[in-house]
Structure 1
């Protein structure tokens, strides 16, 4: 055995990219539920790329991604961030963790939108840590 065989396996790299929702999400959603249903899923989140803020991680080596985004309709009094996962290769799922939400009628009362977003990012990062143990 050479020194190369003894090196630890380096986990694949997750890159944060919050500029726009990756096309991977739309492709996976359409493959799973069809284009018409996909366009209505989470108030059009993946077809219109208009709701902010978002946090997104992409792993090109695994063809996987993780997204934090608002999943509720803008007119609802309770707004909520969802965490969505596209596992390596194929598929799409919503990760159910804590409810990261805020109330539009009391925008300055805790939890605020900023607090909910920060908490959802922390949950997403914890999910990635656990997920990397299984990949």
Structure 2
């Protein structure tokens, strides 16, 4: 049976929250590593809500979350969106997918930042659909 266009992109138990980074991320990182190391992880993505855009999904029943955010330092010549998963077990995992990157010095050359972000969201939605099959 193939994917039907009338199916939701993301299972309904995953709620989208794109306004601010959820506190869950910093809490989990601090449990795994020191607060200083947690603040530096992924170029400060989880401690400093300074770079946009982000996309987040939260599953309150499982206390799990998925985040699309910039994982590279601002000064790098190549920028990349990463996927980070906070599973119900209480950690943070980097989800390895296709590279979703762009070159800021060439903002109009494909892939652009918008194209990279959209590609990362598509990967995140695919991950959530597959993840629900295992939960």
For the pair 1:119 / 2:119, whether they are aligned, the reply is yes
- Structure 2 partner of 1:83: 83
- The aligned runs of 1:17-56 (5 Å cut-off) are 17-56=17-56
2:83 match: secondary structure: strand
> Any unmatched runs of 5+ in structure 2?
1-10
The structure whose Rg is larger is 1
Q: Do the aligned partners of 1:28 and 1:90 also contact (CA within 8 Å) in 2?
A: yes
Q: Which moved more, 1:57-66 or 1:85-94?
A: 85-94
Q: RCO (CA 8 Å, sep 6+): is it higher in 1 or 2? A: 2
- Structure 2 partner of 1:16: 16
RMSD after superposition = 1.1
Mapped partners of 1:55, 1:78: distance in 2: 20
> Any unmatched runs of 5+ in structure 1?
1-10
Mapped partners of 2:122, 2:98: distance in 1: 11
Q: Do the aligned partners of 1:12 and 1:62 also contact (CA within 8 Å) in 2?
A: no
State the shift of 1:28 in Å. Answer: 0.5
Q: How many residues align?
A: 125
- Structure 2 partner of 1:5: none
Q: TM-score, normalised by structure 1?
A: 0.90
